[in-house]
Structure 1
Amino acid sequence: MIESAGITIDDSISPVEKIIINLIDLLAHPIPKTMRLILTCLTIVISANLAGQQLRGKINYTRTNPISSIIWVTATDINKPKSKPLSVRSDSLGYFNLFVNKSSEYQLSISGVFEPDTTFNIKLKKDSTVEIKIDYPPKICPYEKTKLTGICPTGNHKDNVIPIVYGLVAGPKSFFRKVKKGKIELGGCVVTGCDPNWHCKTHDRRF
Structure 2
Amino acid sequence: MNKKIDTLEFELKLTNEISKKVYFQRTNQNKEFEFKDLVDGIYKLQVLNEDYKQNIFEIKFSQKLNQIFYVEKLCKYRENKSKVCPNCKSDKKVVPIFYGLTTGKFMKQNRNKYHFEGCEISNCDPSWYCKKDKLEF
The two structures have a TM-score, normalised by structure 2, of 0.47
Give the number of the structure whose residues are more often helix, by fraction.
Answer: 1
The two structures have a TM-score, normalised by structure 1, of 0.33
